[in-house]
Amino acid sequence: MGELKLMKGNEAIAEAAIRAGADAYFGYPITPQSEVMEYLAAQQPHKRTGMVLLQAESEIAAINMVYGAASTGKKTMTSSSSPGISLKMEGISYLAGAELPALIVNVVRGGPGLGTIQPSQSDYFQATKGGGHGDYRLLVLAPASVQEMSDFVKLGFELAFKYRNPVMILSDGIIGQMMEKVELFDPIPRKTEINEPWALTGKSSDRKKRVVTSLDLDPYGNEKHNHELQRKYKEMEENEVRFEEIDCSDAEYLMVAYGSSARICQKAIKLARLKGIKVGLLRPITLFPFPTKQLYSYTNRIKGILSVELNTGQMIEDIRLAVNGKLPVEHFGRCGGVVHSPEEVLAAFEKIIMK
Amino acid sequence: MDLKEIIKPENLVYKRTECLTDKTLSYCPGCGHGTVHRLVMETVDELGIQSDVIGVASVGCSVLAYDFMDIDMTQSPHGRATAVATGIKRCWPDKFVFTYQGDGDLAAIGTGETIHACNRGENITIIFINNGIYGMTGGQMAPTTLLGMKSSTTPYGREVELMGNPIKITELVAQLAGTYFVSRQSVHTPGNVRKAKKAIKTAFENQKLKKGLSLVEIVSNCNSGWKMTPVESNKWMEENMFPFYPLGDIKVEGQLVQK
Ligand SMILES: Cc1ncc(C[n+]2csc(CCOP(=O)(O)OP(=O)(O)O)c2C)c(N)n1
Ligand code: SF4
């Protein structure tokens, strides 16, 4: 059993980064995720593992430092919250275009604009549909506990390097700020050798020069590159879909929720069962790739789905696409920092779905 | 005499430096970019650092610099080259890392990244091409466009009341504690090419000292954007650009040069 600790979600991200053998973190303060960099700074990662930590002058600078560091083949990450993630989007698009591995954490707060510093899930579209310009996808992991904040840092780096693609951890102010028990994984040493055949290490005489770029002025070349990216996303859809099902085997209805909203729904389905309502919870863990096939498999088994999100209805579009009109799918959610209670969710479920 | 008789080792007076590729330059004939590419690659060859150098191309006419330089390179988003270089250098502190940026890239959209990389004293080299215009996008006003100078977005000349003043970013960053060597040169005559080469070489060698950032500005022509012949553009540059952007070292070994 690994070391047990009581930690905030944001601290777990930071500790996991050091333990995952990250080579560099670049960030800029923003509530509700500032503890990530503060925890790192207190740990002096340059002494613990040799990891680079740098507070950049902006989120734009931070993501471009990530781009530079990632092009050396090293494990690189950044974290921020919604307005900061918007600023990073050009850089994230470049990372995807140049096929660089990197980990980006979004501890979401309510928007639009400066919005609120309170938790929200209103960046679902931005995270799962690319977010920046161009036809690209991020692999998106949605932790629902402090434990998963830690575990997904390690997993995120593995997936980022496996697919040479940026990975996003889409968390929110609740998971970032709450404290829970975490079992920390054993530290992995930082890489001592860079073997990636694309990484910038300096052109030695025994190999050709390497270029990291997202530019291809030849339209046919650019189209080919786009098809290659799409092939990768297909591969993710085939191999990386992750979800959790609770009380689903006998369910007549489903709630679908991720992250903090899934935690609330866990309680809501318990309250429902006490009333004799057979409802299960499907929690997508990867938001891209989305558990489309799994949701479709419910179409001839259940009567309806409630998408419960801390926003005005974003994931519901993916659920509707998944069930392809074969089931009623409705949305419930509070937003902008107002968090729904399990009782509220159940009442909404009875009103909207059971009618 | 046919070609075969001419192409003989003993007749060689000038050749491509090793680290330049065979690829035909994409620059307009007469443009200074090509000469600066050569000087940077000559420096890499003379210092023997091909296997230890990583370059950052920016967004501008020189976006394809990586096609012409036979070294490992990346290509940065517009204005962010010094942040990208910071990421590389922090991960490879013993490699030579340089950016190659235009004036729009370095002194407009990338001003924040430029100033903070300079101020942090990142041990990198910045090669900064100041041609007073946005070459790549078709000759719009740059932050460095002189007062009265015409461009496609200042068709009647730059007016201070409407468009503000041109910026001397090189003098500005020389004031920052993190810069170690700051110099302004040009490449429009053989004599100036030699001086520019010396400055670029110093800027690369300085990386070994780990004493801060080195920046070399090259005041250059954009004959296409300025709508002049190459010869006219060089003359115009001497008469108009140099008085406002005077050539010479601005900061040496961390000390401002007294004039
Ligand atoms: C974010 C962004 N904004 C604008 C552009 C368009 N753009 C490309 S090059 C350029 C200006 C480059 O001018 P400069 O840096 O002076 O270099 P030059 O072409 O003169 O060598 C602009 C505005 C872009 N590629 N990206
Ligand atoms: S447009 Fe200007 S800067 Fe660009 S290649 Fe032509 S002359 Fe050079």
Task: Write out pLDDT tens, residues B6-58.
Answer: 888 888 988 899 999 999 999 999 999 999 999 999 999 999 999 999 999 99
**Cβ–ligand 2 contact at B131 (below 6 Å):** yes
Q: How far apart are CA A196 and CA B65, in angstroms?
A: 23
| Cα(B128) to centroid(ligand 2), Å | 14
Q: Which ligand is nearest to the CA of B222?
A: 2
Residues A49 and A152 in one domain: yes
Tell whether A206 is covered by a domain: no
In this structure, the answer to whether residues A270 and A290 fall within a common structural domain is: yes
**Same domain (yes/no): A234, A260:** no
A294: left (phi over 0), alpha (psi -120 to 50) or beta: alpha
CB A332 within 8 A of CB A340: yes
pLDDT of residue B4: 86
**Chain A touched by B51 (CB under 8 Å):** yes
Last residue in a domain, options A215, A238, A261? A238
pLDDT(B104) > 80: yes
Strand partners, A140: A168, A288
Domain positions in chain B: 29-256
Q: Note whether residue A111 is domain-resident.
A: yes
Q: How many whole angstroms separate alpha carbon B123 and alpha carbon B196? A: 20
Same domain flag for A249 and A330: yes
Task: Give the pairing of strands A211-212 and A253-256.
Answer: unpaired
The residue among B144, B170, B159 whose CA lies nearest residue B226 is B144
Q: How many beta-carbon pairs below 8 A join chains A and B? A: 129
Question: What distance in Å separates the CA atoms of residue A156 and residue A146, rounded to the nearest whole number?
Answer: 15
**Listed residues A184, A210, A238: the one ending a domain:** A238
Class of CATH domain B29-256: alpha beta
A8 in a domain, yes or no?
yes
Total number of domains constituting chain A? 2
Q: pLDDT of A335-355, one tens digit each?
A: 989 999 999 999 999 999 987
d(CA B132, CA B149): 9
Residue A157 lies in a domain: yes
Do A167 and A301 lie in a common domain?
A: no
Give yes or no for A182 touching B (CB within 8 A): no
Question: Which one of A56, A72, A213 has the shortest CB-CB distance to B75?
Answer: A213
Residues near B159 by beta carbon (within 8 Å), at least 6 away in sequence: B147
Q: What's the Cα-to-Cα distance from A63 to each of A93, A278, B98, B153, rounded to whole Å?
A: 10, 46, 19, 31
For B220-236, what is the mean pLDDT? 97
Cα dihedral across residues A13, A15, A20, A23: positive or negative = positive
Q: Say yes or no: A66 contacts chain B, CB-CB below 8 A.
A: yes
Share of chain B above pLDDT 70, in %: 100
Q: Is residue A172 located within the same domain as residue A300? A: no
Rounded to whole angstroms, the Cα distance separating A30 from A257 reads 26
The confidence score (pLDDT) of residue A336 equals: 86
Same domain, A37 and A165: yes
Nearest residue CA, atom 5 of ligand 2?
Answer: B27
Residues A233 and A264 in one domain: no
**pLDDT tens digits along A74-91:** 999 999 999 999 999 999
Interatomic CA distance for residues A273 and A250, integer angstroms: 11
Q: Which ligand is nearest to the CA of B34?
A: 2
Q: Is B123 in the pocket of ligand 2 (CB under 6 A)?
A: no
Same domain flag for A8 and A71: yes
Establish whether this prediction's ipTM goes over 0.95.
yes
Contacts of B95 in chain A (CB under 8 A): 202
Given an 8 Å threshold on Cβ–Cβ distance, is B75 in contact with A68? no
Structural domain includes residue A220: no
Domain containing residue A176: CATH number: 3.40.50.970
What pLDDT score does A13 carry?
98
- Residues in chain A closer than 8 A to B92 (CB atoms): 72, 201-202
Angle ∠(A107,A109,A113) on CA atoms, nearest 5: 130
Question: Taking the model in full, what pTM does it have?
Answer: 0.97
Domain that holds residue A62: 3-201+228-238
Calculate the average pLDDT of chain A. Answer: 97
Q: Which of B232, B238, B150 is nearest to B191 (CA)?
A: B238
Atom index in ligand 2 nearest the CA of residue B102 equals 3
On the question of pLDDT at B1 being above 80, the answer is no
Residue in A338, A117, A94, A56 with CA at minimum distance from that of residue A229: A94
Pocket (CB within 6 angstroms of ligand 1): B 59-62, 78, 102-105, 129, 131, 133-137, 142, 222
Q: Are A148 and A248 part of one and the same domain? A: no
Distance from CA of A101 to the nearest CA of B (A): 14
**Which of B90, B94, B99, B113 is the best mutation test for A, with the most CBs of A within 10 A?**
B90
Token pair, residue A283, equals: 């929690």
**Are residue A256 and residue A195 in the same domain, yes or no?**
no
Which pLDDT score is estimated for A177? 97
In a domain, A292, yes or no: yes
A181/A38 same-domain check: yes
A251: domain CATH number?
3.40.50.920
